[in-house]
Chains A and B, each alone.
Chain A
Amino acid sequence: MNTLIAIGSLGILVLLLEIFGARKTIIPVTIIGLLATLGISLGGFSTESGPASFFNNMIVEDKYSMGFSSLFILLTIFIVLMSADFYNKEQKKLPDYITVKLLLLFGGVAMVSFGNLATYFVGIEILSVSLYVLAASKPENIKSNEAGMKYFLMGAFASGFLLFGIALIYGATGSFDMEVIHQAGMSAGVEDWFYIGVAMVSVAMFFKIAAAPFHLWAPDVYQGSPTLTTALMSTLAKVIAIGGFYRLLNGMYGNFSDGFITTIIVVAILSMTIGNIMALRQDNVKRMLAYSGISHAGFMLMALLAIPNGAGNLLYYATAYALAGIAAFAVIIAVTKNKDDENIISFNGLGKKNPVMALTLTLALLSMAGIPILAGFFGKVFLFGQMLEMGYTTLVIIAVVNSIISLGYYFKLILAMYTKSSTEEMPATSSIYTVVAVIATIINLAIGLFPDFILTMMA
Chain B
Amino acid sequence: MNVSLLLVILLAGALITYFSSEKLARQVALFVSLVAFVATGVLLSQFQSGVSVDVMAQWISKPNISFYLKADGLSLALTLLTTAVTPLVIFSSFGNSFQNKRTLYALILFMAFAMTGTFLAADGFLYYIFWELSLIPIYFIGLLWGNGDAELRKQTMIRFFIYTFAGSLFMLVAFIFLYQKAGSFLLEDLYALNLTSSEQFWVFLAFFLAYAIKIPIVPFHSWQADTYQSNPALGTMLLSGVMLKMALFSLIRWQIPIAPDAAAEYKNFFIVLSIIGVIYGSILALRQDNLKKLLAYSSLAHVGLIAAGTYTLTLDGFRGAVLQMLAHGFVIVGLFFAAEIIERRFGTQKISEMGGIRSQAVWFTSVFMILTVASVGLPGTFNFVGEFTLLYSLSQINIWYAIIGGTTIILGAFYMLRMFQHSMLGETNTKVFADINIQEKVVFVIIVAVLILFGLYPKCLNDLIVPALEETLKHIK
Chain A residues within CB distance 8 Å of chain B = 366, 371-373, 377, 381-382, 384-385, 388-389, 396-397, 400, 403-404, 407-408, 411, 415, 418-419, 450-452, 455-456, 459
Contact = CB atoms under 8 A, between A and B. Distances in A.
A373 B162 CA distance: 17
B435 to A, nearest CB: 36
Contact of A456 (B61, B132, B161, B172): B61
Contacts of A384: 173, 176
A400 B173 contact: yes
Interface in B142-177: 143-144, 150, 154, 158, 161-162, 165-166, 169-170, 172-173, 176-177
B94 to A, nearest CB: 25
B336 interface: no
Interface of B: 60-63, 125, 128-129, 132-133, 136, 140, 143-144, 150, 154, 158, 161-162, 165-166, 169-170, 172-173, 176-177, 179-180
B404 to A, nearest CB: 36
B129 A373 contact: yes
Contacts of B60: 450-452, 455
Given A400-B169, A404-B166, 18 more contacts: A371-B132, A372-B132, A373-B133, A377-B132, A381-B176, A384-B173, A385-B63, A385-B176, A403-B169, A404-B162, A407-B162, A415-B143, A418-B143, A419-B143, A450-B60, A455-B60, A456-B61, A456-B62
Contacts of A385: 63, 176, 179-180
A384 B125 CA distance: 14
A403 B162 CA distance: 10
Closest 8 CB pairs of A and B: A372-B129, A385-B176, A372-B132, A404-B166, A400-B169, A451-B60, A452-B60, A452-B61
Contacts of B61: 452, 455-456
Nearest to A387: B176
A249 B395 CA distance: 64
A13 to B, nearest CB: 40
Contacts of A371: 132, 136
A355 to B, nearest CB: 8
Contact of A372 (B63, B133, B150, B179): B133
B110 to A, nearest CB: 12
Contacts of B125: 381
B177 A388 contact: yes
A373 B59 CA distance: 13
A419 to B, nearest CB: 6
A302 B375 CA distance: 52
Nearest to A415: B154
Contacts of B150: 419
Contacts, number: 63
Contacts of A411: 158, 161
A384 B62 CA distance: 14
Contact of B165 (A404, A452, A455): A404
A396 B173 CA distance: 9
Contacts of B143: 415, 418-419
A388 B162 contact: no
Contacts of A459: 62
Contact of A419 (B62, B154, B169, B179): B154
Nearest to B131: A372
B12 to A, nearest CB: 16
A202 to B, nearest CB: 28
Contacts of A404: 162, 165-166, 169
A411 B166 CA distance: 15
13 contacts: A366-B136, A371-B136, A373-B133, A381-B176, A385-B63, A400-B173, A404-B165, A415-B158, A418-B144, A419-B143, A419-B150, A452-B62, A456-B61
A382 B129 contact: no
Nearest to A380: B172
B172 A381 contact: yes
A388 B173 contact: yes
A455 B62 CA distance: 7
A103 B246 CA distance: 53
A385 B136 CA distance: 24
Nearest to B125: A381
A419 B150 CA distance: 8
Contacts of B62: 452, 455-456, 459
A398 to B, nearest CB: 12
A31 to B, nearest CB: 30
Contacts of B161: 407, 411
A389 B179 CA distance: 10
A389 B172 contact: no
Contacts of A452: 60-62
A458 B60 CA distance: 15
A415 B156 CA distance: 13
Nearest to B99: A352
Choose among A372, A403, A415, A450 the residue with the greatest number of B CB atoms under 10 Å from its CB: A372
A399 to B, nearest CB: 10
Contact of B128 (A372, A388, A396, A415): A372
A373 B127 CA distance: 12
B391 to A, nearest CB: 38
A262 B63 CA distance: 27
A37 to B, nearest CB: 28
A377 B60 CA distance: 14
Contacts of B129: 372-373, 377
Contacts of B172: 381
Choose among B133, B144, B165 the residue with the greatest number of A CB atoms under 10 Å from its CB: B165
A396 B206 CA distance: 14
A418 B107 CA distance: 15
A372 B118 CA distance: 13
Nearest to A389: B180
A385 B177 CA distance: 8
Contacts of A408: 162
A382 B176 CA distance: 9
Contacts of B132: 371-372, 377
Nearest to A451: B60
A397 B176 CA distance: 12
Contacts of A403: 169
A404 B158 CA distance: 12
A413 to B, nearest CB: 13
Nearest to B65: A451
A385 B173 CA distance: 8
Contacts of A373: 129, 133
A458 to B, nearest CB: 10
Contacts of A456: 61-62
Nearest to A449: B59
